[in-house]
Amino acid sequence: MTPNSARATALVRALRAGLEGDAATLRELYTDDVKAWTPALAAASLPELLAELDRRDQAFSPVSLDVSPLDVGGDHACAEWTVTLTHTGPLELAGGETLEPTGTTVTLNGTTVAEFRGDRICSLRQYWDELAVFDQIGLLAPDGG
């Protein structure tokens, strides 16, 4: 069995690699049949996950990650994280409209739960408020609608 500290390190590396689009590191850390779910995507394999990550727009940069593993035991690891990014590129909206860069810095807080098979991640679930991005760049009405 992989030690808890190694799993905590692997989860942090996976989170960083996902934000940076580092496919080589993701291939090293995830199983080929990894299952992933976030508010923004779902994937049933590593190729699907990599394809989803390739489809992300380039509306936000630079990206900063602050992550703290919370609980690592047995085959599971959980981490709490904060991502800070700046709206620096066009953001395509539903209906074909485009929001030009606002320069607004956005902060997201979330949690990731990972399941391991050996020393690789075979399942990943992330939780965050996806509307927080839209709220912080001014797309939501003041009443949240």
pLDDT for residue 34: 98
pLDDT for residue 88: 94
pLDDT for residue 89: 92
pLDDT for residue 70: 86
Helices (H), the chain: 4-20, 23-29, 46-54, 131-136
Asked if 130 and 115 count as a contact pair (C-beta separation under 8 A), the reply is no
Q: What is the rounded distance in angstroms from the CA atom of residue 11 to the CA atom of residue 9?
A: 5
pLDDT for residue 143: 64
What CATH number matches the domain at 4-136, 3.30.70.20, 3.30.479.10, 3.10.450.50, 3.40.50.300? Answer: 3.10.450.50
Asked if 112 and 83 count as a contact pair (C-beta separation under 8 A), the reply is no
pLDDT for residue 40: 86
pTM: predicted TM-score of the whole model, two decimal places: 0.88
Q: Give the domain ranges of the chain.
A: 4-136
Successive 10-residue mean pLDDT values, the chain, 145 residues: 83 94 96 95 96 85 89 90 94 87 95 96 95 90 63
pLDDT for residue 2: 67
CB within 8 A of 108, min separation 6: which ones? 82, 83, 84, 85, 128, 129, 132, 133
